Structure 1
């Protein structure tokens, strides 16, 4: 038998806890919600679940990684606010393609 410890034999090894959302992320999220006019907690929690795939019970449950996904999704919503969505992905694209640049 080997003297090496197995990962499963070490009781002090625990999975790393996800980092909580940062203050700057909280500010960015609050700002994006304000720009979008999403002001009630119910609406905000629904948007968090839709954009991150995670249902949270409290704002403090939002991890740094989930907050970054939420910020990205909210920024996209802010960019598209007021624009008509035609349902045509080509017409609704955000950036010019090489064809547009010709």
Structure 2
């Protein structure tokens, strides 16, 4: 006769109230997380170059693109964090790489591969 032995693995979860304290001030001596690091000079230059390559010359249009990535008002690129700057750069390059869309063209018109209908 065999005996089954049930093993119990317990996981201890410690919840710290500080996790939920959204109004807590920053602890002195603690460095900002990666999402809070300010934009670097090389990122500012890369974004400006990407705007030029993409043909986005007007400051208003550049501001619209940057704000669409962070969903908050921006007066300058210097207000971005390093992570946000990466998002802006990715959006500019993605839009520049996208195929130009002919006026009135649908996704069906712009498909890359032939379908079985095209082969008839």
Decide: shared fold, TM above 0.5: yes
Q: Which runs of 4+ in 1 moved over 3 A?
A: 14-17
Equivalenced residues, count = 87
Normalised to the residue count of structure 1, the TM-score between the two structures is 0.63
RMSD: 3.2
Identify the match of residue 43 of structure 2 among 10, 16, 25. Answer: 25
2:111 and 2:48 map into 1 onto residues whose CA distance is 27
Question: How far apart are the structure 1 equivalents of 2:84 and 2:58?
Answer: 20
Q: Which has the larger radius of gyration?
A: 2
Contact 2:44–2:78 (8 Å) recurs in 1: no
1:39-50 matches, within 5 Å, as 39-50=57-68
Separation of aligned partners in 2, 1:79 and 1:60: 25
More helix by share: 1
Alignment pair present for 1:88 and 2:107: yes
Q: Which segments of 5 or more consecutive residues in structure 2 lack a partner in the other structure?
A: 1-16, 114-120
Question: Conserved in 2, the CA contact under 8 Å of 1:48 and 1:55?
Answer: no
Deviations 1:6-58 (A, max 9, x none): 857x9772683711111221122111110122122211111111233232122
CA distance in 2, matches of 1:58, 1:74: 16
Distance between the aligned counterparts of 1:12 and 1:51, measured in 2? 26
Corresponding residue for 1:99?
none
CA distance in 2, matches of 1:80, 1:20: 29
